[in-house]
Structure 1
Amino acid sequence: MTSEQKKWLVMHVIAIIFALKMVSFGVNGDPQVPCYFIFGDSLVDNGNNNGIASLARANYLPYGIDFPSGPTGRFSNGRTVVDTVAELLGFDDYIPPYANVRGEAILGGVNYASAAAGIRDETGQQLGARISFGGQVNNYKNTVSQVVDILGDEDSAANYLRQCIYSVGLGSNDYLNNYFMPNYYQTSRQFTPEQYASVLIQQYSQLVRELYNYGARKLVLNGIGQIGCSPNALAQNSPDGTTCVAKINSANQIFNNQLRSLVDTFNRELTDAKFIYINNYGIFQSLISSPQSYGFTVTNAGCCGVGKNNGQITCLPGQTPCQDRDAHLFWDAFHPTEAANVIVGRRSYNAQSASDAYPMDINRLAQL
């Protein structure tokens, strides 16, 4: 073989290797943002509750039955909303849980979410240990100190973190596992729904400002979905098992309206940051109002669980779930199926309706 032929062969092999790398990492190359930080509850928890003394855990089958690596702690048969958003942002892998991530892996982002967690510290305490919003913010502060160590100084860390997307999705449990659980909690006797929403928003605002003080500049504030339409709410409080529970949804809407107003306040006061609101309530309303157009045929029952419409509790270990999972809006008594999560994630990233995201969607936020 001549030297020219050898040279051509080497270049050809290099080209093939490069092409294979491009395929494995996706056509778009690097993700839209360098990192994605997630704060939330069981809707987006991906393993932080696995190692703590909590009844709110999902690290067993049938949870994860449709997820590539099986049960991880995700409260779904497969992907969550933030998994879908991570894909759309261009990340090669899903964002790891705080409980497991170590070293330079934190530079891609961390998921701090904890099942049963709320804005209020006492929320969900009847289920055992959980990491409240305040605890998650403290864990993020610990991550920031590690980012400073890795990048060398605070200025470098600040410049890096300001490019990242921050997703906050809490509040559901402050109603589900607090306000509407009068046998365990006093809040419904202490506050009207309007007062309670204001108390929640005040604490929420303080914690989000802490995230801002520790580098967050692109923040996604997620509204609460229609808790009153979950199989659990329908089984316990719906007169016919299909009509959503108005008093719960009404309270959720009060919170959401105040959260949307908070986005305006933050954008007015913190001008070097950008905040957006995701209208999960409205997105879910469209899924419930016209389920067939999204491929759903069952909207009032979980795919697995116990009791009426599988709506009393979550899936039992080893329980056999329904076969037509993509036809179900809900996976268990409280949580959506992967099919529903993917739709919500896509509409959060690229707003399908003008009301899905305010004042812009995640895709546009990432481009700022």
Structure 2
Amino acid sequence: MMMLLSRFQAPFSFSSCFSRTVIFLVFVVLYCHYDSEAALVLPDNETITAVFVFGDSIVDPGNNNNLPTIAKGNFLPYGRDFKDGPTGRFSNGKVPSDIIAEEFGVKDLVPAYLDPKVQLKDLLTGVSFASGAAGYDPLTAKTANVISMSGQLELFKECIKKIEAAVGEERTATIVSKAIYIVCTGSNDVSNTYFSTPFRRPHYDIDAYSDLVAGYASQFLQDLYGLGARRIGLLGLPPIGCVPSQRTIGGGKNRECYEAENELASAYNAKLSGVINNLKTVFTLPGTKLIFLDIYYPLLSLIKNPGKYGFEVATVGCCGTGLIEASVFCNPTSIPLSCKDASKYVFWDGYHPSEKAYKILTPAIINMHLKEFF
């Protein structure tokens, strides 16, 4: 999600798209899972062999650590509430990929594929290829000097070969086909590439660029299918305009949600959802489960009603001043200004939710779509 300083230009009406019914349903789902540590109950005779993850900083557990990029989180105060300390996760603790693997009963943590400590046993049950600041648009990763989505697929191919060499083709095919795949990216395309560089905006309006990126997303999913993936969950974009840094940048003197960004995020989500529907109806992908996972409204519920979920602060992050810091700007010098208890905050830094927020959101969203994976 590594959204570097950006500004969007588009009108937005919050009330027109966030109905009382949606709010009620989200509250019910989140309350049912709040503070629950129990793993999900899978349908009869269904098994999950592994969890493989692709995307950006929301699900990057440290693949960027040794890359020449500023999109890193392998230093304090990141990881301050994590048993292993700073690992490269853009969080004070766990990230959604860890919680998803735990919920599905696979394992407690999903390590970075490029972690030098990764062993065969880790590969057999899933790793993350995600790279902070990546996006569907190839220019997004290139500009940030991180691993592109196509590059992440190449790493997955390499991973499959390693597994085949160890356990044989037949068992590898079973591991790959029975695994859960999570794809979480897109925010950097709209914040970093479209609005913050001169490479796309002069040639594409918002609708045309959304179509362009949706095409890349569609191709990525088809390529992932070609490598054996069958259970794929695609996360949408969050309400970008309501994250602390974007309130600071475009929310005016009162730091309200930057509504133009939320408008764009909603439009982008509609295109990604359309990609899923198109692949289901137009393309022949036998045995594939493609699920669009909407994070926009559940996260917005936490932001608009923090007290209902045990939070005290939703407009600033815990790290530093909480107004803008993220990645290299959330660093050891930020520690004196950082909050003492991140569990009281919806956001850990200027862009990324806290571990507690992830632990509320992730099980709820997965449970809403559980049957669709099988």
Report TM bin, short chain. 0.7 to 0.9
Task: List alignment gaps of at least 5 residues for structure 2.
Answer: 1-38
> How far has the Cα of 1:106 moved from its partner?
0.8
- Paired residue for 1:231? 244
- Paired residue for 2:130? 113
**Aligned counterpart in structure 1 of residue 266 of structure 2, from 247, 253, 257:** 253
- Paired residue for 1:140? 156
Contact 2:73 2:88 in 1 (8 A): yes
- Residues 1:39 and 2:46 aligned together: no
Contact 1:226 1:281 in 2 (8 A): yes
Q: How does 1:198-209 map to 2 (within 5 A)?
A: 198-209=211-222
Residues in 2 aligned to 1:125 and 1:345: alpha-carbon distance in whole angstroms: 29
Q: TM-score, normalised by structure 1?
A: 0.83
Runs of 4+ in 1 over 6 A off after TM superposition: none
Q: TM-score, normalised by structure 2?
A: 0.82
**Aligned counterpart in structure 1 of residue 305 of structure 2, from 280, 290, 305:** 290
Number of aligned pairs? 326
Secondary structure, in 3 states, of the residue corresponding to 1:350? helix
Residues in 1 aligned to 2:255 and 2:47: alpha-carbon distance in whole angstroms: 41
- Residues 1:152 and 2:168 aligned together: yes
- Residues 1:52 and 2:67 aligned together: yes
Task: List alignment gaps of at least 5 residues for structure 1.
Answer: 1-25, 352-360
Contact 1:65 1:77 in 2 (8 A): yes
Contact 2:346 2:356 in 1 (8 A): yes
- Paired residue for 1:194? 207
- Paired residue for 1:172? 187
> How far has the Cα of 1:95 moved from its partner?
1.4
> How far has the Cα of 1:233 moved from its partner?
0.8
> How far has the Cα of 1:169 moved from its partner?
0.5
Contact 2:238 2:295 in 1 (8 A): yes
> How far has the Cα of 1:216 moved from its partner?
0.2
- Residues 1:221 and 2:234 aligned together: yes
Q: 1:134–1:293: structure 2 CA closer, same or farther, 3 Å change rule?
A: same
The Cα RMSD (Å) is 2.3
Contact 2:313 2:345 in 1 (8 A): yes
Contact 1:305 1:333 in 2 (8 A): no
Secondary structure, in 3 states, of the residue corresponding to 1:188? coil
- Paired residue for 1:90? 105
Secondary structure, in 3 states, of the residue corresponding to 1:106? helix
Q: Which amino acid aligns with 2:258?
A: V
- Residues 1:276 and 2:291 aligned together: yes
Q: Which amino acid aligns with 2:268?
A: F
Q: Which has the higher contact order (CA 8 A, sep 6+)?
A: 2
**Aligned counterpart in structure 1 of residue 359 of structure 2, from 342, 349, 362:** 342
> How far has the Cα of 1:185 moved from its partner?
3.1
> How far has the Cα of 1:124 moved from its partner?
4.9
Contact 1:162 1:217 in 2 (8 A): yes
Larger radius of gyration: 1
Residues in 2 aligned to 1:126 and 1:234: alpha-carbon distance in whole angstroms: 24
Q: Which amino acid aligns with 1:364?
A: K
